[in-house]
Amino acid sequence: MVAKRIIPCLDVKDGVTVKGVNFEGLKEVGDAVTLGARYASEGADELVYLDISATREGRRTFIGLVEKIAGCIDIPFTVGGGISDVETAARLLDAGADKISINSAAVRTPQLITEIASRYGSQFVVVAIDAKCIDGIWRATTHGGSILTDLELCSWAHEAQERGAGEILFTSMDHDGTFNGYPCEVYARLAERLSIPVIASGGAGSVEDIADVLTKGGADAALAASIFHYGMVSIPVLKRELAKRKINVRI
């Protein structure tokens, strides 16, 4: 059985890790490189770095930061934000990133998923979907959650899979930063629809929340930010508690 992954997420703005609620009210929580190194030493399976202002501000992810991260940690990490073409993806991978995450650009140009996957392999491509529930329908957003699209979550995720995505990172905007738990029923539907791994993001507030999304939600990995940034639970404690619940994690 493949082990479930625990993935701290570092939302980066101007090189500093920030966190908000429902993508708003951002507060600085620490240096992006220092935090990443700490989480790696504590037993994180992977890291995700998202330059959350890159798309809205028309900037590309800062290559220098990726190089610093690659020089300080020894676990896989994914980088996203402002990646709009194959060349930018190539520069990030050359700088040391293990995977790239695309969101707005994938919606705008779905063929980009195929182009990157064809050149580097599906295992390098994570399609991120930030979605919110509108009148009972989960709809994808772009540009850091500021633009609502007509794309339905499961349909768009399936299309991304068919175009070559190796993983889907679904963040519930309705749950982001609330500590109220993940919408497990939505993750369960998504996991049933897809044959590629699903990373759950948005809402972790306790060990129980993470255990639920990995079991009831069928997610392959749990991504969380605030719960780690604010010291609500450490990665070693989390993994020990998950193991007690018979959830297969690397300890």
Query: How many Cα atoms occupy the beta-carbon half-sphere of 105 within 13 Å?
Result: 26
* Nearest alpha carbon to residue 60 among 9, 95, 109: 95
Mean pLDDT for all residues in the chain = 91
Q: What is the pLDDT of residue 81?
A: 85
- What tens digit of pLDDT does each residue of 86-103 get? 999 999 999 999 999 999
Per the listing, tokens 């790239």 go with 100
Q: Can you give the pLDDT of all 251 residues of the chain as single tens digits?
A: 799 999 999 988 877 787 655 445 556 767 889 999 999 999 999 999 988 765 554 455 568 889 999 999 999 999 998 899 999 999 999 999 999 999 999 999 999 999 999 999 999 999 999 999 999 999 999 987 889 999 999 999 999 999 999 999 999 999 887 889 999 999 999 999 999 999 999 999 999 999 999 999 999 999 998 899 889 999 999 999 999 999 999 99
Q: Is 150 a catalytic residue?
A: no
Catalytic residue among 14, 45, 94, 130: 130
For residues 134 and 96, give the distance between their C-alpha atoms in angstroms, rounded to a whole number: 38
Determine which one of 11, 45, 209, 220 is catalytic. Answer: 11
Short-list 32, 40, 43, CA closest to 73: 40
- Predicted pLDDT of residue 16: 75
DSSP letter at 5 equals E
- State the residue for tokens 């703005």: 13
CB 28 within 8 A of CB 35: no
pLDDT at site 42: 97
User: Are the beta carbons of 43 and 75 closer than 8 angstroms?
Assistant: no
Structural domains of the chain, with CATH: 5-244 (3.20.20.70)
Is 14 labeled as catalytic in the residue annotation?
no
* Helix ranges restricted to H, 78-173: 86-95, 104-108, 111-120, 153-163
